[in-house]
Amino acid sequence: MHSEKVTKSNELTPAQRASMEGEPKVGDIEAEVTHDAVFGEITEDGPNYRNVGWVGTAVLMMKTQIGLGVLSIPEAFNVLGLIPGIIILLSIACITTWSNYMVGVFKLLHPEVYSLDDVGRMLFGRVGLWCFGAAYTLYWIFVAGSGMLGLSIALNAVSLHGTCTAVFVAVAAIAGFGLSSIQTLGRITWLAWVGLSTILTAIFTVTIAVGVQDRPADAPQDGPWASDYKLFGNPSFEEAISAVSSLVFAFAGTTAFFAIVSEMRDPKMYTRSLLICQSTVTATYIIIGTVVYYFCGSYVASPALGSAGPLVKRIAYGLALPGLLVTTTLVIHLPAKFIFVRMWTGSRHLVENTPTHWISWIGCTLGTTVIAYVIASAIPVFGGLISLIGALLGTFMSFQPMGCMWLYDNWCKKERNLHWHWMVFFSVFVIVSGTFLTIAGTYGSIVGIINSYNESGGSAAWSCADNSNSV
């Protein structure tokens, strides 16, 4: 169990800290936590915020990664070309894996850290606290909006546009609000299992279907046809950087990992969960992106579940509905929990089921849901919304802070060997590359959204039109 916050936390090794604080030993996942550096006293009268095992952690990590982002990967390959697409995807996977690893290292060294705003405070003072906190909250609210949009597409596809799309977005918001109001990630873990298995089933169903069908649903249906996939694309700068932003978004669950490791029973087992997550996610992305794009070429749909024809599309979206709902649940829960913890840190209302606890918790989830609903309704272009989120906020929080975190803990080391110099170079590279992708990707994404609005006559917001192209 954790002790009170140590003042000079970066002067202690993880082993020393574990000894001082009595951390549960590796493998002792049943150890009871009664005091936490973030949540305070954990009692039977309130929610147990420290109750996620390493397997559940891996599933929660994979669910924050495999969700909305994977549905845009084949389209990104279509823009970039197959070979550059795979190379860029692997590069982003490597960088984000290191970033995710730094989350676990930083949490062990500084157990009082709950989210990126704490990191911002340590790195840049009060300005960093507010900037990182605002970016984190906005990011997950935008992702929640895209989750609602994805659910509305699924409901339209399954029902063959059974009603107004605006109604489906509202249904998605209501369902997401209800499930996201579950208090702890430990209680949501079973939902993550269901969501991960169903969305993987749906995606692999489409992947197999595009391989055995005669041609994609959007391809010309008369005469001979062959896939027009490209090994190397020839996109404009705006198109290319927007596609890269979509790939970044597919790995941008990094921003949730602080919240996830904060609710682990044994944070020292975080790296094990991380390696399972990243290896599974990267392999899944490459398989799905390569196979779907190879067989569909330029006629790949975005989201990708619509690439295999009307019948398979309805089946795939039907299978994916629980997964998309769980994604929406998680991404509403994360910013709501962040706001709630910040409201009541140090108060009994954080760890006890008082009326104030419940009123403020429901208020946080409801407020997050309403804002996300407005975003989903106002920017109903799935690909454009994904790339904008990935560029503006996903990159900013998955690259730059982690490079700064390594420098913060290691810059003053007396032993400056070759490994130290290499890590300084790599950390600076992550910061610089992340900054470039943030600026350039945001520009490309905004241009793409403007073009989409111009093509639709600017009438798509809060529209009843079918956004799944089912009818």
At 36, is the secondary structure helix, strand, or coil? strand
pLDDT digits (tens, 9 = 90+) for 203-245: 889 888 888 887 777 778 777 888 889 999 999 888 898 888 8
Distance CA(36)–CA(31), nearest Å, equals: 13
Q: Please name every residue paired with 264 in a beta bridge, in sequence order, or none if there are none.
A: 52
Its sign, for the CA torsion 357, 362, 363, 364, is positive
Its sign, for the CA torsion 265, 271, 276, 278, is positive
- Within the chain, what is the greatest distance between any pair of CA atoms? 74
Closest to 373 (Cα-Cα) out of 135, 147, 155: 147
Q: What is the mean pLDDT of each run of 10 residues along the chain (471 residues)?
A: 40 43 39 67 78 91 81 88 95 95 94 91 92 90 86 88 86 94 89 90 88 79 83 90 86 88 92 95 92 88 75 88 91 93 87 91 95 81 67 85 94 88 95 92 82 62 72 65
Q: Any idea which residue has 């409201």 for tokens?
A: 343
CA 276 to centroid of chain Cα atoms = 16
pLDDT of residue 19: 39
End-to-end CA distance of the chain: 57
Its sign, for the CA torsion 80, 274, 54, 121, is negative
pLDDT of residue 346: 82
Give the pairing type, strands 40-41 and 35-36: antiparallel
Distance CA(180)–CA(189), nearest Å, equals: 12
Residue 33 CB neighbours (<10 A):
20
Closest to 257 (Cα-Cα) out of 366, 374, 104, 375: 104
**Residue-range domain boundaries for the chain:** 52-218+230-456
Residue 25 CB neighbours (<10 A):
11
SS3 percent helix, strand, coil of the chain, rounded to 5, is: 75, 0, 25
Distance CA(176)–CA(145), nearest Å, equals: 11
pLDDT digits (tens, 9 = 90+) for 136-156: 998 888 888 888 888 988 898
Burial of 275 (0-12, 13-18, 19+ CB in 10 A): middle
Q: Please name every residue paired with 227 in a beta bridge, in sequence order, or none if there are none.
A: none
Under CATH, which number does the domain 52-218+230-456 receive?
1.20.1740.10
Distance CA(319)–CA(57), nearest Å, equals: 24
pLDDT of residue 382: 60
pTM: 0.83
At 13, is the secondary structure helix, strand, or coil? coil
| Whether 448 contacts 242, CB under 8 Å | yes
Distance CA(61)–CA(266), nearest Å, equals: 15
CA 335 to centroid of chain Cα atoms = 12
